[in-house]
C-alpha cells in the first residue's frame, strides 16, 4: 500500500463516525473519490455514491426504472458502510457523571476503563468510562454491568457543570489511535467498516485506471450497524446489475476462540478477502468473482452463509425485485472492540479482486440465474 492510499485509510480510521453521525467521515471519503470519479453525489441521510463511467454508454434512466433493454456492459456497485459502533449520552446525573446508551452493538465487556471522546456541537469533551478499583470490588460479585449501568467521568463536579459541556444525544467514541503492529498488520477501533469503504473507493479507482468497460458505482452507506438502513435507501434506485458489499468478517485464527474455531469457519488474517456463498450471495456473481481471482492468481478464502451475511448485501439483494449481490469479507480479529486487527494485504487484494470482477464482467448483459 503506497503512502497516499495508506494516508486515506488512516484518515478514515481517525475520523469518528458513530451510526447516525457519519458526516465527517463521509467528507473524507467524498474528497478522495472526487479525484477520479465522473460524478459524486450524496443523499439526505449522507449516503455517498461515486460513479466511474465505463467505456460503454448506458441508458441510466431505463436502468434505474427497471424498464427497457439491458444491452451493453454492466453497471456494478462496490459498497461499504461508513458508520461505526459507539456510545451516546443518555443522561447526566446529579454528581456530573454521564450515563450511557449504546449506538449499535457495543460490547459491554470492553468499555470499562477506556478513554472516550464525547462529540458535542462545540467540540470534543474527553472522559473515561469508570471502573471500580479491583481493591474495592467484591471478588464474589464480578458480574458485568450493562452499558446503561456504566458511566463516563468527564471531571465535572456538579450536574450543572456537566450540562454546560455535553447534551443528551451527543455521540461518544473510544479514544484509541491507529497502531502499527508487525509486518502489514495494524490495530484500531472502527475497522468495521472503514476498511470496507476504503476497498470500495480503491477498487473503483483501480477499475478507472484499468479503463474497464463496466460502469462502477462506489458507495459508502450510513447506519449499517442499526439495521442496514443506508443500504435500503441507496438500493431503492441504484441502477446496477450487481452489488458487492465489502465488510469485515471474523478471522478465527486467534487463541481466544480455542476449540470452538471449527464452528466459525476457516477464515485467517492475511490469507486474502473472503467470498461468501449461500443466502444473499448470488451464485453467478460468486462464480464470476472466483473466476476473476483464479485467472489473476489473487488469494481468496471461502465462507458459508447459509442464512444471511449480516451485511449490506442482505439489503441490496432484495432491492428493486432483486439485485444480484455478494458479501466480500475482510478478515478482522476482535470485532466490535477498540482494538480490531486487520492485515493491509487483505485490503489490497480485495481492491484488486473487485476491479478484476469489473473487468471480468465486460460484455455481460445480466447475472440472472439460468433456469
Comparing CA positions, the residue from 285, 289, 304 lying closest to residue 369 is 285
Q: Are residues 216 and 204 part of one domain?
A: yes
Name the residue with higher pLDDT: 133 or 69. 133
Comparing CA positions, the residue from 129, 136, 144 lying closest to residue 99 is 129
For residues 169-175, average pLDDT: 98
Residue 19 CB-density burial (10 A; 0-12 exposed, 13-18 middle, 19+ buried): buried
For residues 286-304, average pLDDT: 97
Residue 367 forms part of a structural domain: no
State the residue for C-alpha cell 470490588: 137
Residue 365 forms part of a structural domain: no
Q: Are residues 344 and 244 part of one domain?
A: yes
Q: What is the CATH number of the domain that holds 96?
A: 2.40.30.40
Do residues 364 and 17 make contact, with C-beta atoms less than 8 angstroms apart? no
Kindly indicate the confidence band of residue 218, based on its pLDDT and cuts at 50, 70 and 90.
very high
All cell numbers assigned to 152: 463516563
Report field, pTM of the whole predicted structure over 0.85: yes
Residue 64 forms part of a structural domain: yes
Q: Are residues 253 and 215 part of one domain?
A: yes
Catalytic site includes residue 340: no
Name the residue with higher pLDDT: 368 or 91. 91
pLDDT of residue 67: 40
pLDDT of residue 123: 97
Helix (H, G, I), strand (E, B) or coil at 146: coil
Comparing CA positions, the residue from 281, 286, 287, 328 lying closest to residue 307 is 281
pLDDT of residue 112: 95
Q: Are residues 72 and 94 part of one domain?
A: no
Name the residue with higher pLDDT: 138 or 259. 138
Q: Are residues 247 and 355 part of one domain?
A: yes
Q: Are residues 166 and 309 part of one domain?
A: no
Q: Are residues 313 and 221 part of one domain?
A: yes
Binding residues for Zn(2+): 81, 192, 225, 247, 336
Point out the least confidently predicted range of 171-180, 349-358, 360-369.
Answer: 360-369
Binding residues: 81, 192, 225, 247, 336
Q: What is the CATH number of the domain that holds 70?
A: 3.40.630.10
Q: Are residues 92 and 72 part of one domain?
A: no
Point out the least confidently predicted range of 117-126, 139-148, 194-203.
Answer: 139-148
Kindly indicate the confidence band of residue 1, based on its pLDDT and cuts at 50, 70 and 90.
confident
pLDDT of residue 69: 35
pLDDT of residue 338: 96
Residue 182 forms part of a structural domain: no
Q: Are residues 15 and 107 part of one domain?
A: no
Q: Are residues 306 and 214 part of one domain?
A: yes
Comparing CA positions, the residue from 328, 337, 338, 262 lying closest to residue 301 is 328
For residues 94-103, average pLDDT: 98
Using the 3D structure, point to which of 150, 174, 198 is the last residue of a domain.
174
pLDDT tens digit sequence for 319-361: 999 999 999 999 999 999 999 999 999 999 999 999 999 999 9
Residue 180 forms part of a structural domain: no
How many structural domains are present in the chain? 2
pLDDT tens digit sequence for 233-285: 999 999 999 999 999 999 999 998 766 666 778 899 999 999 999 999 999 99
Q: Are residues 234 and 102 part of one domain?
A: no
Separation CA 95–CA 146 (nearest Å): 20
Which residues, other chains included, contact 148 with Cβ-Cβ below 8 Å and sequence gap of 6+? 90, 99, 100, 101
For residues 185-193, average pLDDT: 97
What is the extent of the structural domain holding 44? 3-84+189-360
Q: Are residues 50 and 107 part of one domain?
A: no
Using the 3D structure, point to which of 144, 174, 204 is the last residue of a domain.
174
Percentage with pLDDT > 90 across the chain: 85
Using the 3D structure, point to which of 145, 174, 203 is the last residue of a domain.
174
Q: Which of 84, 224, 340, 360 is catalytic?
A: 224
Residue 326 forms part of a structural domain: yes
Residue 366 forms part of a structural domain: no
Note the helical H segments in the chain. Answer: 3-14, 23-33, 60-65, 159-165, 191-209, 229-235, 283-296, 313-316, 344-360
Instruction: Indicate whether 229 pLDDT > 50.
Output: yes
All cell numbers assigned to 128: 473515561
Which residues, other chains included, contact 199 with Cβ-Cβ below 8 Å and sequence gap of 6+? 78, 80, 246, 328, 330, 347, 350, 351, 354
pLDDT tens digit sequence for 41-96: 999 999 999 999 997 544 444 445 444 334 568 999 999 999 999 999 999 999 99
Residues recorded for the chain: 371
For residues 8-14, average pLDDT: 98
Residue 227 forms part of a structural domain: yes
Amino acid at each position: 500500500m503506497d503512502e497516499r492510499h495508506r494516508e486515506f485509510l488512516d484518515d478514515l480510521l481517525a475520523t469518528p463516525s458513530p451510526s447516525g453521525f457519519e458526516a465527517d467521515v463521509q467528507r473524507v471519503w467524498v474528497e478522495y473519490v472526487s479525484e477520479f470519479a465522473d460524478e459524486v453525489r450524496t443523499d439526505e441521510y449522507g449516503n455517498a455514491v461515486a460513479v466511474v463511467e465505463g467505456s460503454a454508454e448506458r441508458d441510466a434512466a431505463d436502468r434505474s426504472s427497471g424498464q427497457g433493454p439491458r444491452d451493453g456492459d454492466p453497471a456494478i456497485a462496490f459498497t461499504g458502510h461508513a458508520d461505526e459502533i459507539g456510545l451516546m449520552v443518555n443522561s447526566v446525573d446529579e454528581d456530573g457523571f454521564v450515563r450511557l446508551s449504546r449506538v449499535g452493538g457495543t460490547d459491554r465487556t470492553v468499555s470499562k476503563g477506556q478513554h472516550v471522546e464525547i462529540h458535542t456541537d462545540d467540540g470534543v469533551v474527553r472522559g473515561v468510562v469508570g471502573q471500580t478499583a479491583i481493591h474495592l470490588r467484591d471478588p464474589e460479585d464480578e458480574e458485568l454491568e450493562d452499558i446503561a449501568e456504566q458511566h463516563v467521568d468527564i471531571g465535572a463536579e456538579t450536574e450543572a457543570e456537566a450540562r454546560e459541556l455535553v447534551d443528551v444525544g451527543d455521540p461518544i467514541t473510544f479514544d484509541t489511535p491507529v497502531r502499527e503492529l508487525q509486518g502489514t498488520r495494524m490495530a484500531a477501533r472502527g475497522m468495521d467498516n472503514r476498511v470496507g469503504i476504503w476497498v470500495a473507493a480503491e477498487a473503483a479507482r483501480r477499475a478507472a485506471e484499468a479503463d474497464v468497460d463496466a460502469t462502477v458505482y462506489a458507495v459508502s452507506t450510513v447506519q449499517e450497524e442499526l439495521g442496514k438502513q443506508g443500504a435500503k435507501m441507496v438500493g431503492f434506485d441504484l441502477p446496477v446489475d450487481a452489488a458487492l458489499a465489502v465488510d469485515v468478517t471474523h478471522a478465527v485464527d486467534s487463541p481466544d476462540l480455542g476449540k470452538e474455531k471449527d464452528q466459525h469457519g476457516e477464515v485467517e488474517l492475511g490469507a486474502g478477502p473472503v467470498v461468501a456463498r449461500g443466502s444473499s450471495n448470488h451464485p453467478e456473481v460468486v462464480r464470476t468473482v472466483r473466476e476473476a481471482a483464479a485467472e489473476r492468481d489473487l488469494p481468496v478464502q471461502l465462507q458459508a452463509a447459509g442464512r444471511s451475511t449480516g451485511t449490506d448485501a442482505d439489503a441490496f439483494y432484495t432491492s428493486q425485485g432483486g439485485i444480484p449481490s455478494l458479501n466480500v469479507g475482510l478478515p478482522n480479529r476482535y470485532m466490535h472492540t477498540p482494538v480490531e486487527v486487520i492485515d493491509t494485504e487483505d485490503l489490497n487484494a480485495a481492491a484488486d479482486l473487485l476491479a478484476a470482477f469489473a473487468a471480468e464482467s465486460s460484455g455481460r448483459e445480466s447475472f440472472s440465474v439460468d433456469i
